[in-house]
Chain A
Amino acid sequence: MKIDPDKCTSCLSCIPYCPMNCIAEGDDGTAIDEDECVDCGVCRNVEVCPEEAIYMPAEAFEYPRAIRMQFSDPSVQHPNLKAWGRGTEEAKTNDVTGKFGKGDYGMLFEFGRPGTGARFREIEKITTAICAMGIDILEDNPISGLIADKTTGTIRPEFRDEKILSAILEIRIDDSQLAAVVDKVIPLLDDVDTVVSVGLVSRFDDNDELPVIGALRSLGITPRPNAKINVGLGRPIVE
Chain B
Amino acid sequence: MSHSLHRFGKPEDLKNDFCIYSRAAKGINRDDCGDKLRRTLEIYLKNDVVNFGSSHAGRNYLSGLKPDEYAKTLDNSYGIIATFADRNAVKGVLAQLKEVALGISVVVSGLIDEVKQIAYEVGLRPHTALLSLGIYGKRSLLPADDVLAVTTMCGHSLVSAALAREVIDKVKKGKLTPEQGARTLARPCPCGIFNTKRCAELLEKQRSTAQ
Question: Which residues of A line the B interface, CB within 8 A?
Answer: 15-21, 40-42, 45-46, 74-75, 83-87, 89-97, 100, 106, 108, 110-116, 165-166, 168, 186, 189-190, 192-204, 208, 210, 212-213, 216, 221-237
Interface residues on B, range: 35 or more
Q: 0/1 per residue, B1-24, Cβ < 8 Å to A?
A: 111111110010010010001011
Question: Which residues of B line the A interface, CB within 8 A?
Answer: 1-8, 11, 14, 17, 21, 23-26, 28-29, 55-58, 78-79, 94, 97-98, 101-113, 115-116, 119, 124-139, 141-143, 148, 151-152, 155-163, 165-166, 187-188, 190-191
- CB of B95 to closest CB in A, whole Å: 11
- A199 B160 Cβ-Cβ under 8 A: no
A189: chain B residues at CB < 8 Å are: 136-137
Closest residue to A83 on the B side, CB-wise?
A: B78
A197: which of B21, B78, B135, B165 is its contact (CB, 8 Å)? B135
- B128 A204 Cβ-Cβ under 8 A: yes
B104: chain A residues at CB < 8 Å are: 233-234
Count chain B CB atoms within 10 A of each CB in A108, A192, A226 and give the residue with the most. A226
- B29 A96 Cβ-Cβ under 8 A: yes
- B130 A45 Cβ-Cβ under 8 A: no
Compute how far the CA of A227 lies from the CA of B107 in the bound complex, rounded to whole angstroms: 10
- CB of B5 to closest CB in A, whole Å: 5
Compute how far the CA of A228 lies from the CA of B20 in the bound complex, rounded to whole angstroms: 9
- B156 A96 Cβ-Cβ under 8 A: no
The 4 closest A-B pairs by CB, nearest first: A93-B25, A74-B55, A235-B103, A234-B105
Chain A to chain B contacts (Cβ below 8 Å), 26 pairs: A19-B188, A45-B188, A85-B1, A91-B128, A91-B130, A96-B105, A112-B157, A114-B151, A115-B142, A195-B139, A198-B134, A198-B136, A199-B5, A199-B133, A204-B127, A204-B129, A210-B129, A213-B131, A224-B6, A226-B5, A226-B7, A226-B11, A226-B109, A227-B131, A228-B5, A233-B106
- B128 A201 Cβ-Cβ under 8 A: yes
- B56 A231 Cβ-Cβ under 8 A: no
Closest residue to A198 on the B side, CB-wise?
A: B133
- B109 A227 Cβ-Cβ under 8 A: yes
B187: chain A residues at CB < 8 Å are: 46
B138: which of A114, A166, A193 is its contact (CB, 8 Å)? A193
Count chain A CB atoms within 10 A of each CB in B21, B98, B106 and give the residue with the most. B106
A94: which of B98, B128, B152 is its contact (CB, 8 Å)? B128
Closest residue to B24 on the A side, CB-wise?
A: A93
Task: Decide: A231 near B107, CB < 8 A? Known: A114-B135, A204-B126.
Answer: yes
Closest residue to B18 on the A side, CB-wise?
A: A226
B136: chain A residues at CB < 8 Å are: 186, 189-190, 195-198
- CB of B147 to closest CB in A, whole Å: 9
A197: chain B residues at CB < 8 Å are: 5-6, 132, 134-136
- CB of A227 to closest CB in B, whole Å: 5
- B105 A95 Cβ-Cβ under 8 A: yes
Compute how far the CA of A210 lies from the CA of B125 in the bound complex, rounded to whole angstroms: 13
Compute how far the CA of A54 lies from the CA of B159 in the bound complex, rounded to whole angstroms: 18
Count chain B CB atoms within 10 A of each CB in A16, A106, A202, A221 and give the residue with the most. A16
Closest residue to B115 on the A side, CB-wise?
A: A229
